[in-house]
Amino acid sequence: MAKTQLGARVDVEVAELAKKRASDLGLSVGEYLARLVEDDASGLRARAVAAATRFLAEHQAVFDEAEDGQHARGGAHAA
């Protein structure tokens, strides 16, 4: 596949995050950015967010119960 060069100005923090995340994944920054764009354009990112939203909605009671249990235990030890 032919390659082209893009230029973009981003905050220093964003650039550092991109470099770190690319390194964590064993990718160059260009490969990492290409993957992000392809995932976004294909709808993969939107589908993943929708799936996570559905999961959280379906299991909210479990999370609430676990959180309530943590608060109850923490309160008993506070005295």
- Angstrom distances, CA of residue 42 to CA of 2, 18, 22, 32, 47: 20, 21, 20, 15, 9
- Asked if 34 and 40 touch (Cβ cutoff 8 Å), the reply is no
Question: For residue range 8-45, what is the model confidence (pLDDT) as tens digits?
Answer: 999 999 999 999 999 999 999 999 999 999 988 899 88
| Residue 6, phi then psi, degrees to nearest 5 | -115, 155
Which position has the higher pLDDT, 41 or 71? 41
